[in-house]
Structure 1
Amino acid sequence: MAIRVATELFRIGDVVPESGTYICVPCGYTQTFYAGELFTTCLACFAGTANGPEGFTEEDAEFWQYVG
């Protein structure tokens, strides 16, 4: 499952498929999420909100990527 997860991007509200570290694609911030939780906005750049970086201001923007 890790290979599939590592190539996918996730958005706010998606269910975390695998516990581990995820990186915010726009800013590089890493955060630990646990399987079954819901992804949240990035605490560093606010991706997925109106205050997020250009191209990542919509709540349905995909920006979390599994790194391990």
Structure 2
Amino acid sequence: MDWLASHRATIDCYAMTVIFGSVRQPEFVYHGSSPLKSVKLISAMKARTLISHGCQGVKGAVTGDVGEWLY
């Protein structure tokens, strides 16, 4: 949230857009899209149950600095 606030982002969930800068004179507008196939997500508790019943799981995390992308 701090990053969004520092870049004056306005999120419009209904229109699926994120406006950076002033709403009247945006510097950049990101238009989201719906995936063609639904993304399957499960909760941590459901994952624990599945793993305890013998299912395999993979845990991962993505980190990085996106600051360079904006300038």
Larger radius of gyration: 2
Greater relative contact order: 1 or 2 (C-alpha under 8 angstroms, separation 6 or more)?
A: 1
Same fold (TM over 0.5): no
Taking structure 1 as the reference length, what is the TM-score of the superposition?
0.19
Taking structure 2 as the reference length, what is the TM-score of the superposition?
0.19
From the two aligned structures, give the one with the greater helix fraction.
2
